[in-house]
Structure 1
């Protein structure tokens, strides 16, 4: 297991899991994001690999725990155990391999069974530099993203460093703002509990007073 970004200070910490078939380039994407390098002949991930990377989002330090999973069938049950505590899921397929795209339906089914309902999902088409070998069209990725209500669809190239940082930054930004929104609602609910005798302010106060009355 690899671990980078040794600075332990952070404002937010989120767990992100990369899934998809073997050979789609998940590890290349992670390595490009982590240290800006690309290895053409990358070894197969056995089980799960782990690293960390921090980003600055809205002036805050957001640390991502990135779990790069092996896509082999024998590791599928191991991978499922990582879904439960995941904040974000990156579903990867190779634009030159139709089977890897079609397999995403199976991976998505696993996510729906084992991950939290509010997990943020991103679809990533890898190896965008191999345009001449493309089999899966951009429209296919867009349709998959819309069909399953995912955050976004984006094509990347770890080799040419295209959209890799953008993918993780968009995910980190969304996770931070989702967390902030959840904390804001929890604070409002707590305020209502502590001030149950106060005059309601607007519809939101009235709403929570009603549901928490008993």
Structure 2
């Protein structure tokens, strides 16, 4: 019974307006890129089937608006997230400086049960711009920030060229999976007359 359950992994992408959140999602799911910029209104999502350790999951990727006037929509979209992706533009220092605000805002709005260990992944996007000559945020600086926040995985990407996008989302999916409560993933719905099954289930729940 449990193996037939549809496993949904919810991922939220956060970051300033214009850093490439929509483009990254479209490149990963549809292998498409558009030069025409259109701001996301509120939030949108795409889904993709992914295989992790010989099992299929549905990755539900939420792309949220970077404009402040839409941030009040946050609570509804953040709740139930299994992983949060923080995205910035390596050519815009302000977008990097705002990562901490996005991270804090997410933890407040989503209220994860274990905020200290909630999985984040950071993407430094648009490394293709001007052959890399326009970048103002060094890889070293970004990795140092990630290390200071509990060793958050870090990827440098180009949504336009598709560079590192697949690898980044593979990491994102695996981190999302780690965040799912174990009993929901593989504990079978067995009938245990001695009640041992129930004890095992509640014990597993205590770890969350």
**Pairwise CA RMSD of aligned residues?**
2.7
- Which of the pair has more CA radius of gyration? 1
Determine helix, strand or coil for the equivalent of 1:29.
helix
TM-score, normalising length from structure 1?
A: 0.78
TM-score, normalising length from structure 2?
A: 0.80
**Aligned position for 1:123:** 122
Distance in 1, Cα, partners of 2:120 & 2:157? 16
Q: Residues 19, 184 of structure 1: CA spacing in aligned structure 2 closer, same or farther, 3 A cutoff?
A: closer
Q: Residues 194, 114 of structure 1: CA spacing in aligned structure 2 closer, same or farther, 3 A cutoff?
A: same
Distance in 2, Cα, partners of 1:35 & 1:132? 29
**Aligned position for 2:29:** 34
Runs (4+) of structure 1 exceeding 4 A deviation are 180-187
Bigger RCO (CA 8 Å, 6+ sep) = 2
Structure 1 segment 1-214 matched on structure 2, within 5 A? 11-115=6-110, 116=112, 117=115, 118-130=117-129, 131-149=132-150, 151-179=152-180, 181=182, 194-195=195-196
Q: Residues 108, 150 of structure 1: CA spacing in aligned structure 2 closer, same or farther, 3 A cutoff?
A: farther
Distance in 2, Cα, partners of 1:182 & 1:163? 32
Distance in 2, Cα, partners of 1:15 & 1:108? 16
List runs of 5+ in structure 2 lacking aligned partners. Answer: none
